[in-house]
Homo-oligomer: A and B are copies of this chain.
Amino acid sequence: MIHYNQVAGQNVKRIEALSDGVFAIALTLLVLEIKVPEVHVHSEEELFHVLVELAPKFLSYFLSFMTMGIFWTGQAFQLSYIENYNRDLNWNSLFFLLLVSLLPFTTAFLGQYITFKLAIGIYWLNILLLGLLLYIHWNYACKKKFISLQTDEMKAIDKAIRRRIIVAQTLYLSGALLCFINPYISIGFIILVQLNYAFAFFSPRIPKKRKV
């Protein structure tokens, strides 16, 4: 007898497509908040001030987009190597997407209550859980042999993925702890970490072709 749970959720392609859909929405969720204000302006300067007042929303949007991009890339990277899937990984990915869709909220919450430790804590918790689920995702797939790790290249990639998540999460934790000194230093540090992951200032950049 085969149990439903033993055979359901094995389709990596569908998780990829669903993820792209959820990420596409989450990526654009905060842009929905930026409405064109309907005010009467009489000069270019006044209009400029209208734009400037929207700046915090643009910043929140940019921050949320960047973080989302980092995790989208991370998940896409793992999935490109995972050949088999099962219900545990399926639900790991679904809860990962749940956390992704909450990120615009926690980012906007941080933007609104920027001087409060709780806002930084919630934002950090969101990022921590995203990283944790990604780590469990990869670890589980390795254990179950859903990835062929025979070759040296794959072993090196395995190490690179784990190292990346651990280093990133350590930096995020350090950033979050800085809020006990000053909230702005804390957020500034976290944003710098994310900017680095997006723009790769301090990373080797010689791209290597992957054999497909």
Question: Could you tell me which A residues sit within 8 Å of B by CB distance?
Answer: 1-11, 14, 16-18, 20-29, 31-32, 34, 36, 38, 41, 44, 47-48, 51, 62, 65, 69, 72-74, 76-77, 80, 84, 86-88, 90-91, 94, 97-98, 101-102, 104-105, 108-109, 111-113, 116-119, 122, 144, 153, 156-157, 159-161, 163-164, 198-200, 203-210
Number of copies of this kind of chain in the complex: 4
Q: Are B34 and A105 in contact (CB under 8 A)?
A: yes
A69 engages B44 (CB within 8 Å): no
Partner of A208, one of B2, B77, B157: B2
Residues of B within 8 A of A209 (CB): 84
Cα of A207 to Cα of B2 in the assembled complex, Å = 10
In the complex, besides A18-B24, A20-B24, A27-B97, 4 extra interface pairs with C-beta distance below 8 angstroms are A4-B160, A6-B206, A7-B157, A36-B111
* B residues near A38, Cβ cutoff 8 Å: 112
Is B160 a contact partner of A2 (Cβ separation < 8 A)?
A: yes
Given contacts A21-B24, A112-B38, A207 and B160 within 8 Å (CB-CB): no
A73 and B90 contact, CB distance less than 8 A: yes
Can you list 6 A-B pairs, Cβ within 8 angstroms, ordered by A? A6-B204, A8-B77, A14-B80, A31-B104, A36-B112, A41-B113
Which residues on B sit within 8 Å (CB–CB) of A14?
Answer: 16, 20, 76, 80
- B205 contacts A8, CB within 8 Å? no
Given A7-B208, A76-B11, A77-B8, the answer on whether A28 and B28 have CB atoms closer than 8 Å is no
B11 touches A62 (CB 8 A): no
- The answer, among B18, B65, B98, for a CB contact under 8 Å with A65, is B98
Residue of B nearest to A5 (CB): B203
* Shortest distance from the beta carbon of A133 to any chain B beta carbon, whole Å: 14
A20 and chain B: residue at smallest CB distance: B17
| Shortest distance between the CB of A181 and any CB in chain B (Å) | 16
> Known: A1-B156, A2-B208, A25-B25. Is A18-B18 also a contact (CB below 8 A)?
no
